[in-house]
Amino acid sequence: MMNQKLIAQRLQDPRAKLVAVTKKHTAQEVDELYALGVRTFGENRVQEFLSKYNPDYDWHIIGHLQTNKVKYIIGKVSLIESVDSLKLAQEIEKQAAKHGLVQDILVEIKVSQQDENKTGLPIAELDDLLAEIAKMEHLRLKGLMTIASNTDDQDLIASEFDQAKALYDQACQLYPTMDTLSMGMSHDYELAIEHGSNQVRIGTALFEAE
């Protein structure tokens, strides 16, 4: 079951690129999305990604990435959205150098105050990490990614998106390779776009009936 209306609407919205999150869905469902015009797919686990990997499609890694898994994905993903530590950036740099390529990355920042939302770099550490990444020859800094609090409180979510947008705008002044602010999922992508997102990562809603 695909929500064709939503897919068409997202593909036509020039404000934000659609990354279809296909975790827990089959390679066949990925093919079905491709047939509907979707070109970029997001996976959060390396093992699952490799089981579905099709080199004809464009793939992003969006979930927490362990350093020892980087070697399995390098050369296969156009964007690693979830760089959240210097150690991980250094490992991607090393593997990218080995493959003779430049890997596009986003830094995932933690704007949510919720304890259960543990992923992402604390924003106090952002400036230092960006400066380190900028020195790495085989990394290209494309922007920031974030996940807002999982809540019904729209004002709270909006304030988190605003915070990410402000950090993104600041960083863009220093790092001209940046052009991507990845925020917004099934339940909050509209709010995310209103608050400055230009890339949404939507999973669940794509597979729900219209």
Ligand X SMILES: *Cc1c(COP(=O)(O)O)cnc(C)c1O
Q: Which of residues 7-46 bind ligand X (CB under 6 A)?
A: 21, 23, 44
Residues in the chain: 210
Q: Does 185 bind ligand X (CB under 6 A)?
A: yes
DSSP secondary structure string, 89-149?
Answer: HHHHHHHHHHHT--EEEEEEEE----TT---SEEGGGHHHHHHHHHT-TTEEEEEEEE---
Q: What Å distances lie between residue 88 and 53, 71, 142, 154, 155, CA to CA? A: 22, 11, 16, 32, 33
Q: Which of 62, 74, 148, 171: binder of ligand X (CB under 6 A)? A: 62
Looking at 50-58, 68-76, 163-171, 201-209, which segment touches ligand X (CB under 6 A)?
Answer: 201-209
Contacts of 43 (CB under 8 A, 6+ apart): 21, 22, 23, 49, 52, 59, 60, 61, 62, 63
Whole-number minimum distance, CB 136 to ligand X, in Å?
Answer: 23
Q: Which of 25, 110, 142, 201: binder of ligand X (CB under 6 A)? A: 201
Q: Does 141 bind ligand X (CB under 6 A)?
A: no
Q: Does 109 bind ligand X (CB under 6 A)?
A: no
Q: Which two tokens stand for residue 200?
A: 């949404």
Nearer to ligand X, 136 or 183 (CB): 183
Q: Does 143 bind ligand X (CB under 6 A)?
A: no
Looking at 66-74, 95-103, 123-131, 198-206, which segment touches ligand X (CB under 6 A)?
Answer: 198-206
Nearer to ligand X, 61 or 129 (CB): 61
Q: Which of 10, 49, 52, 63: binder of ligand X (CB under 6 A)? A: 63
CA atoms of 81 and 65, how far apart (whole Å): 10
> What SS3 state is found at 61?
strand
Looking at 94-102, 122-130, 155-163, 195-203, which segment touches ligand X (CB under 6 A)?
Answer: 195-203
